[in-house]
Structure formats: C-alpha cells, structure tokens
Amino acid sequence: MDAVNILTTKGLTKAYGGIKANTDIDFALPRGKTMALIGPNGAGKSTFVGMLCGRIPATRGDVFFEGANINALPAHQRISLGIAYTFQITSVFAGLSLHENVALAARRRLGADVAAVNAKVADVLARVGLAERTDQIAGDLSYGHQRLLEIAMGLAQDPRLFILDEPTQGLADSEVEEFIALINTLAGETTILLIEHNMDVVMKTATHITVLDAGEVLAAGTPEEIRANAAVQAAYLGTSDA
C-alpha cells in the first residue's frame, strides 16, 4: 500500500471518438491533504474525476485507491470503498426532506442503526448550517443551500476521499467564505480533491494544486510553485507562445 498517496493514476486516458478529453494523466493525491484541480473550461477536469469515481469508463490507464487497482470496480463499489462525490450540477433528492437526503448517504454505511443514522444526520446538517431546515423538502431550498446539502451528503459518508466538483459555483460571496471555513475544518480529517474555478477558494484551502490544460497535466505542486509557473500563467492568460 502506498503510504503517502491515497489515490494515484497511471496513463489515464479518455477518448471520445478521435477527441481526447484526457491524455495519459499520471496523478498522485497525498493522503490527508487538500488538492485543488484547476484548469480552463474544457480542460478535462470533470472527465478526470468522473473516471476516478467510475461514472465515466476510462479508455485506458489505471486508477489505484489505497494501493489497489480499482479499474474493474463499478461506481457504487468505488463509493463503498470510501470515495464520496458531489456533483457539479446540483443533484439532490428534490422530493425528499433534507433529513432523508442525508440519511440515505449515512445509511449505506451505518445500515439500519436508526439512532446512529439520526445522530450522523443531525451532526452533518449542523456542520453545514442547515440544522433548522432538516424537515424541509430539498427541492424547496435555495440553490446555495442545495449545494451545502450536497456537501452534507458527502460528509455523512465519512469519506476517506472527498471529491467536490465545483462546489462554490453559483454561491454568494458570504456562502463562499463559509464554504472555505468548512473545508478547512475538514483538513487533516479526510483527503479532499477539489475542482474549483474560484482562485480565492483554491489559495485559501488547497495544500496542493494540479493544473490540467487540454486534457493533460500542465503542472503540479504547492500553491506557491503553481503561482510562479510560467506555463500556468500562459494557459490562464491565453497566450499561446509560453
């Protein structure tokens, strides 16, 4: 088992017909750290995490979680290993109460232990600040609150790896600040892989950054290293002669 990294990929590639969305991605995610995955629109970030958690089948390449190759596992089994995933486009159970939404996430692990499930639900809803809305129907929540509910559903699984796909998209500034605080309370508790456009969020939460551009890893390192990287600056500023 890889002591340093919780998840690694080797040569991970996704091709749609002749178009490659991801090309030979070698990636390592250090345990207990918060990694931000950044890159311009269309860089292949969502495709990449889709292949990690099994929503999108890889064309070739390998994914290792806790040292074991998980290529052959379907999505639900990867989730069962402790990979939680929140959707880029809010995807809650709109017709069910907040309590039931989070309980569904907790129940897969805690089973029929009603008391433990209820305690977990109360705990994570309090953590994201939705405790007093527990009986509301999820579909009635504002967009920002639905994003928080998504995060609560991830937390309820006590994940070993928590993948968040653009969690702050569409949030108000104050909500973004609360989100940053929330992620920082998780630091050390679990490993986080964050796809994020908001550089403020990235710089305030991430311990490591990987930059994707045109389906390939452009750079990887600490925030300081990435900030100083000329190729990254070029990709973001759009100059082609970097």
Partner 1 sequence: MTDSQRSQLLHLGVIALLFVAFFVLPTYHVGNLSRIMVLAVYAIGYNFLFGYTGLLSLGHALFFAAGMYGLGLSMELFDLTTAPALMVGLASALIVSAVIGFLALRTSGVSFMIVTLMFAQAGYLTILYFGSYTRGDEGFVIQQADRVLFGLDLSNDTARYFAALVLFSVCFLAVARLVQSPFGRTLVAIRENEERARMLGYNTVAHKLKAVVISGTIAGVAGAAYALLFGYAGATFATVQYSIFPLLWVLLGGAGTTIGPLIGVIFMFYLIDLSSDITSAYMLIAGVVLVLLTLFAPQGLAGELRKRVFKWMP
> Which secondary structure element, helix H or strand E, spans residue 128, and what is its range?
helix 114-128
* Residue 88 DSSP label: S
Residue 43 binding partner 1, by CB under 8 A: no
Judged by CB under 8 A, which stretch of 35-43, 99-107, 191-199, 234-242 contacts partner 1? 99-107
> Minimum distance between the CB of residue 37 and partner 1, rounded to whole angstroms?
18
> Which of residues 60 and 108 has its CB atom nearest to partner 1 in the complex?
108
> Minimum distance between the CB of residue 97 and partner 1, rounded to whole angstroms?
11
Count of CA atoms in the C-beta half-sphere (13 A) of 120:
25
Query: Residue 140: phi, psi to the nearest 5?
Result: -85, -10
The C-alpha atoms of residue 97 and residue 180 are separated, in whole angstroms, by 26
Residue selected from 35, 52, 70, 153 as contacting partner 1 according to rule CB under 8 A: 153
Residue 236 binding partner 1, by CB under 8 A: no
Which string of x and - marks every residue 46-65 that binds partner 1 (by CB under 8 A)?
-------x-x----------
> Minimum distance between the CB of residue 167 and partner 1, rounded to whole angstroms?
15
- What residues does 63 pair with on adjacent strands? 9
Residue 94 binding partner 1, by CB under 8 A: yes
Which residue, 9, 44, 38, 22, is CA-closest to 166? 38
Residue 75 binding partner 1, by CB under 8 A: yes
- Cβ distance 197 to 38 under 8 Å? yes
**104-123: contacts with partner 1 (CB under 8 A):** 104-105, 107-109, 111-112
Q: Is 3 exposed, middle or buried (0-12, 13-18, 19+ CB in 10 A)?
A: exposed
Residue selected from 95, 142, 143, 172 as contacting partner 1 according to rule CB under 8 A: 95
Judged by CB under 8 A, which stretch of 25-33, 85-93, 186-194, 228-236 contacts partner 1? 85-93
Residue 208 binding partner 1, by CB under 8 A: no
The C-alpha atoms of residue 79 and residue 214 are separated, in whole angstroms, by 28
The C-alpha atoms of residue 55 and residue 209 are separated, in whole angstroms, by 23
Residues in contact with partner 1 by the rule CB under 8 A: 53, 55, 74-77, 79-80, 85, 87, 91-96, 100, 103-105, 107-109, 111-112, 153, 157
